[in-house]
Amino acid sequence: MTPDGTALGPSAPVAAYDEQIMPELPELQIVAELMGEAVRGAQVDSALAPGINTLKTLRPPLSALEGLTVQGVRRRGKHLIVDFSDGLSLLIHLMSAGRLQLYDRRAGPHDRSSRLLLRVRAPARDGGSVGAAGAGRAAGAAGTVSAAGPVDAAGTVSAAGAVGAPPELELRLRELGPRQAAWAKLLPCAQLDGDPALAGLGPDAWPQTPVLAGIAPGSRPLNALLRDQRVIAGIGRSWADEILWEARLSPYRRLSDLDAAQLSGLREAIFTVLDGAIAHYRRELSLPLPDRMPAPLRIHRHRGDPCPRCGATLRGVHLQENVIAYCPDCQTAGRILKDRRLSRILR
Ligand SMILES: [Zn+2]
């Protein structure tokens, strides 16, 4: 990946982003940015939780959101936070198969993917009624093509705009597949930092990538360390592979074995890779968000493909349910890493 991400244009190979891949920092960042832009200032009509296990808090009740204004959507680590007036916040973790999407009509009774529904009235832009600009934005936000079959919003929205009523939108937490793992908590904003989900998080990996020297005991393999949210927040299986490839470091190197140049190189790789991915999404994505994000992965899930840098065959090593991908020539001085899954079985 080039520093400015130019190698990640539409023609770059794009890996399938299926439900096995957990959304990580770049994917959640673009969701927060696009959703925030679309619903900031919107007023909540109603809030429902069709997913019986999704909402992990009882008080305040979800109905407390009715009538409140959406103040913004932000990200912390791999969490999304929707802030409302009156000091309430919805903390969301999408886990592996959750998606936060915006629709221009309400979920039907047979939509089994809905976990949480926030029905809002989109804000009038530029302080006036929904004029051409406002309708255009809302249509862009809500005109949808995703699998659940939403309609083309243009007619609806411009009709609503014509009579001056703000368009109705539905912010929907969906979950692809049968599992209910995605969760949400409704909390006073002041309690967010103390919530166990956020309290233990390390510094965000982007945009202020932390200095790595001394950030954690150095005895664990880098691939595990980078994915430890208590050490550095936002990186998972996909982007850890990309980062270590970018830094030319073995997934099994230890932090304590790195010299100063390698430490700063790794820090730079974290920033460059995540920043490049976010830049890619900013170029490629607009609302409605697809179920499958066009993740510009070049190493993860590319075992067997040629290394984009040196052409050597990318290898994979199993670690629990994950396959760590790496380039032997760029990262391990030609050494093929032992498949620990196999060795454990054979031992
Ligand atoms: Zn290589």
Nearest to 213 by CA among 266, 249, 252, 286: 266
Span from the CA of 137 to the centroid of ligand 1 (angstroms): 43
Take residue 110 and report the two structure tokens written for it.
């047979």
Measure the CA–CA gap between 85 and 103, rounded to whole angstroms.
22
Quote the ligand 1 centre to 298 CA distance (angstroms).
11
CB 81 within 8 Å of CB 90: yes
Distance 15 CA to ligand 1 centre (A): 18
The whole-angstrom separation of Cα 195 and Cα 150 is 35
The reported pTM is: 0.83
Cα dihedral 118, 121, 124, 127, rounded to 10, equals -80
Cβ count within 10 A of residue 202: 16
Q: 237 alpha carbon to ligand 1 midpoint, in Å? A: 19
**247 CA distance to ligand 1 centroid (A)?**
11
Ordered by where they begin, the domains of the chain are 6-18+203-346 (1.10.8.50), 25-199 (3.20.190.10)
The whole-number pLDDT of residue 163 equals 52
Cα of 308 vs centre of ligand 1, distance in Å, is: 7
Tell me the CA–centroid distance for residue 262 and ligand 1, in Å. 17
CA–centroid distance, 125 to ligand 1, in Å, is: 49
Instruction: Tell me, in angstroms, the distance from the centre of ligand 1 to residue 311's CA.
Output: 6
Output the CA 323–ligand 1 centroid distance in Å: 17
Give the model's pLDDT for residue 194. 97
- Residue 333 CA, ligand 1 centroid: distance in Å: 10
H or E element, residue 43: strand 43-48
Ligand 1 geometric centre to CA of 197 (Å): 37
* 3-class DSSP state of 306: strand
Question: Partners of 98 in the beta sheet?
Answer: 175
316 C-alpha to center of ligand 1: Å?
13
Q: What is the pLDDT of residue 106?
A: 85
How many CA atoms does the CB half-sphere of 131 hold within 13 Å? 6
Name which of 118, 115, 117, 119 is nearest 51 in CA terms.
Answer: 115
The per-residue pLDDT for 131 is 31
- Give me ligand 1 centre to Cα 248, in Å: 8
Cα 335 to ligand 1 centre (Å) = 12
Q: Rounded to the nearest whole angstrom, what is the distance from the C-alpha of residue 235 to the centroid of ligand 1? A: 22
- 3-state DSSP call for residue 245? helix
DSSP class of residue 208 equals S
The per-residue pLDDT for 338 is 84
Cα–ligand 1 centroid distance for 342 (angstroms): 24
Instruction: Give the distance (Å) from ligand 1 centre to CA of residue 220.
Output: 24
Tell me the CA–centroid distance for residue 2 and ligand 1, in Å. 15
Cα of 20 to ligand 1 centre, how many Å? 26
pLDDT tens-place values along the chain, 347 residues long:
333 333 333 333 333 334 456 899 999 999 999 999 999 999 999 999 998 889 999 999 999 999 999 999 999 999 999 999 999 999 999 998 999 999 988 888 778 899 999 999 987 765 433 333 333 333 333 333 333 333 333 323 333 333 567 789 999 999 988 888 999 999 999 999 999 999 999 999 999 999 998 898 878 899 999 999 999 999 999 999 999 999 999 999 999 999 999 999 999 999 999 999 999 999 999 999 998 888 999 999 999 999 999 999 999 998 777 899 999 999 999 999 987 665 554 44
Q: What is the DSSP letter of 173?
A: E
Is residue 74 classed exposed, middle or buried when 0-12, 13-18 and 19+ CB atoms within 10 A define those classes?
middle
The alpha carbon of 122 and the centre of ligand 1 are apart by a number of angstroms equal to: 48
